[in-house]
Amino acid sequence: MALVPCQVLRVAILLSYCSILCNYKAIEMPSHQTYGGSWKFLTFIDLVIQAVFFGICVLTDLSSLLTRGSGNQEQERQLRKLISLRDWMLAVLAFPVGVFVVAVFWIIYAYDREMIYPKLLDNFIPGWLNHGMHTTVLPFILIEMRTSHHAYPSRSSGLTAICTFSVGYILWVCWIHHVTGMWVYPFLEHIGPGARIIFFGFTTILMNFLYLLGEVLNSYIWDTQKSMEEEKEKPKLE
């Protein structure tokens, strides 16, 4: 039996994301007042994705609790839709985008923080909030993947969805540059057009790789869990 029920963990994670979002939006940074506002940053978009995803998880848990033993076919059909939406969001958005934000942010930060998170931001964003946006996303999503089985969509439709998201965000970043003359991320100012094209192509490929990684990890976790349960159920020879 788990030390903390997964339903309680989901509520706690959802509340933490709500707190992070509220604190982030309360910060009066100049970049929040320019074209695109907070929505030009993938970190903020990811926080919204994670909050919506865990909100759906909590709603699914509540619906499951309310429909348990009711025998109402319509309620059960709606519950199955919620579960399908929850699983789709984890596969296509929550896992790949969340892991991408954590990995790319800290890799670039370790190389040269001024390229992605200038020291000036320390005057606006406290350290705990920075980790809430760029670190805890990864363990939270891994906890969810470990505590509940998620059915992935077909590989073709899943990859199409994550490609659409990736290309859509790249076009959004390019549009902001077209309107304002400034790139959302400082390092894009220091590389040439060819290098930007390569970087954008790489990020799309990485998103696809992370989708496949999530699919493989999900299968590994639950295939291993199933094998362990089957092993326990086998009669022991004396």
Is residue 32 in a domain? no
Residue type present at position 225: Q
Dihedral of the alpha carbons of 56, 57, 62, 65, in degrees to the nearest 10 = 140
Segments forming the whole domain that contains residue 69:
6-26+39-224
Report if residue 235 sits inside a domain: no
pLDDT digits (tens, 9 = 90+) for 69-112: 666 777 788 889 999 999 999 999 999 999 999 999 999 899 98
Measure the CA–CA gap between 200 and 34, rounded to whole angstroms: 23
pLDDT in tens, 176-206: 999 999 999 888 888 889 999 999 999 999 9
For residue 131, is it within any domain?
yes
DSSP-derived secondary structure letter, 234:
S
Q: Which residues contact 180 (CB under 8 A, 6 or more apart)?
A: 34, 35
Rounded to whole angstroms, the Cα distance separating 31 from 235 reads: 64
Structure tokens of 163? 């490609």
- Cα distances (angstroms) measured from residue 5 to each of 10, 74, 144: 9, 27, 11
**With 90 as the cut, is the pLDDT of residue 123 above it?**
no
Total domains present in the chain: 1
Mean pLDDT computed over 222-235 = 60
In a domain, 203, yes or no: yes
